[in-house]
Amino acid sequence: MDFFNYSGTELHAENVSLAAIAEQFGTPTYVYSRATFERHYNAYANAFASHPTLICYAVKACSNIAILNVLAKLGSGFDIVSGGELERVLRAGGDPAKVMFSGLGKQEAEMARALEVGIHCFNVESEAELYRLDKVAGEMGKKAPVSLRVNPDVDAKTHPYISTGLKENKFGIDILDAVRIYEVANSLPNLDVMGVDCHIGSQLTELQPFLDTFDRLIGLIDQLAEKGIKIKHMDLGGGLGVRYRDEVPPEPGEYAQLILEKVKGRDIMLAFEPGRSIAANAGVLLTKVEFLKCTAHKNFAIIDGAMNDLIRPSLYGAWMNIIPVSLQPTGEGSRVYDLVGPVCETGDFLGKERELDITAGSLLAVRSAGAYGFTMSSNYNSRNRAAEVMVDGDVAHEIRARETIDHQLAGESLLPA
Ligand code: LLP
């Protein structure tokens, strides 16, 4: 459920019409709904309320500090994968004690900063990383809280680029090797073994892979207990899918019910790192038709949003729903269009073969663009990145100004004469 709906013939984000947002802030613009973010976060928080659980929103999905601030106010923790994401969380008023630091290439300075502010836990992905973290913590006279991210070899049955829990993926530590590496972690003087972590993939539309993962992790936790290593939390990562087209992903409530049943009677905190299921349907990319170009072979609508703004269709062949901001007939009639951007690549499209009644100047909304939309955008073709606007009830707030060429060039310089 989200708060992007037609009121009469006009698409609104909460109580604000998208046409008014385009008028005020221009296009392309990412438009988010605060109420939708809150609803999606609360779906997790309420579903797991009966058990000690930390919901750590995956910052990479959509990282604007206004959004992190809205979630922090609800009590959210954060899953981060870089020093940059940590600084965002801190600027947004997030609680470092609720931060999980994931990612397989953590640098010494990133580790040191996370130790300085006191994060909840490092999700360590290799033996080499354990030694580095032990060294950094030792130099600071601190103990680093660690989980090992284990790779449970479970097939998430999702797109190969976003499947992460198979033996052949670069992520995590093979579960068959995990006991040995936990023993190493336990023996290092500046580490404090806290938990077990995993993340098997993204856009999962079935619960069974999560349940299989849970069983494998519990098996590991029991093996560790026999060796005297007590695990305090189990982090099941993110991965719950959303509806882009006709998928029917499980709700957080269904997920919670099955996991809570399994964890009953165990003294262990749960943690989750949802990104997409909180952010995707809380945002749209608002874009305008520049020109129609109808040829003997194809009809193209050339729009002002492009692959640099939203790369999911180009990169993964992802299908994203594209709907008109106004349902009023344009006089042009309906045709089947490929919706393409101005970037000089054949792969620059946001949608193909979409039947729409549009004309030059028509506004379109790409739905479900809140996750991995703006955060994956770039300056390719020296295009300024889009503005970001958050609607809160009756008001639209600009939470990131549209980039200018001065922003783009700020760090560049000519060679000396
Ligand atoms: N935790 C870790 C360690 C992750 O690597 C990820 C996502 C998440 C949590 C959040 O997963 P989610 O709940 O969003 O599925 N760019 C791709 C998705 C890449 C996901 C990367 N990791 C896309 O646009 O589909």
CA of 265 to the centre of ligand 1 (A): 30
Q: Please give the positions annotated as active site.
A: 344
Q: Is 38 annotated as a binding residue?
A: no
The whole-number pLDDT of residue 170 equals 84
d(CA 336, CA 379): 29
Between CA 23 and CA 29, with CA 27 as vertex, the angle to 5 degrees is 105
Where is average pLDDT lowest: 50-64, 157-171, 354-368, 389-403?
A: 157-171
**Length of the chain (residues):** 417
d(CA 55, CA 372): 19
pTM of the model: 0.97
CA of 395 to the centre of ligand 1 (A): 30
For atom 8 of ligand 1, which residue has the closest CA? 238
The whole-number pLDDT of residue 163 equals 66
Longest dimension (CA), the chain: 74
pLDDT tens digits, 113-145: 999 999 999 999 999 999 999 999 999 999 999
- pLDDT bin (cut points 50, 70, 90) of residue 157 is confident
Q: What is the DSSP letter of 310?
A: -
Tally Cβ neighbours within 10 Å of residue 349.
18
The whole-number pLDDT of residue 230 equals 98
Between CA 210 and CA 42, with CA 64 as vertex, the angle to 5 degrees is 45
Nearest ligand 1 atom, CA 239:
15
Exposure letters 173-185 (e unless 16+ CB within 10 A, then b):
bebeebeebbeeb
Domain layout of the chain by residue ranges: 4-31+280-409, 34-276
Distances (CA, A) of 98 to 94, 95, 105, 211, 237: 8, 6, 21, 24, 14
Which of 60, 80, 234 to mutate to test ligand 1, by most ligand atoms within 8 A of the CB atom? 60
Q: How many helices (H) and strands (E) does the chain have?
A: 12, 21
Nearest ligand 1 atom, CA 371:
24
Residue 166 has pLDDT above 80, yes or no: no
Q: Is 228 annotated as a binding residue?
A: no
**Class of residue 268 by CB neighbours under 10 A (exposed 0-12, middle 13-18, buried 19+):** middle
Q: Is 14 annotated as a binding residue?
A: no
CA of 256 to the centre of ligand 1 (A): 19
Q: Which residue has the tokens 């939203």?
A: 310
Give the residues surrounding ligand 1 with Cβ less than 6 Å away: 58, 61, 79, 102, 162, 199, 202-203, 237-239, 273-277, 312, 316, 371-372
Q: Is 6 annotated as a binding residue?
A: no
Residue 161 has pLDDT above 70, yes or no: no
* 187 phi and psi angles, rounded to 5 deg: -85, -15
Exposure letters 269-291 (e unless 16+ CB within 10 A, then b):
bbbbbbbbbbbbbbbbbbbbbee
d(CA 168, CA 164): 9
pLDDT tens digits, 84-99: 999 999 999 999 999 9
CATH 3.40.640.10 fits 34-276, yes or no: no
Tokens describing residue 243: 């509806």
4-31+280-409 is classed in which CATH architecture? Beta Barrel (2.40)
Task: Please report the DSSP string for 189-248 in residue order.
Answer: TTEEEEEEE---BSSB--SHHHHHHHHHHHHHHHHHHHTT----EEE----B---SSS--
Domains 4-31+280-409 and 34-276 alike in fold: no
pLDDT tens digits, 8-36: 999 999 999 999 999 999 999 999 999 99
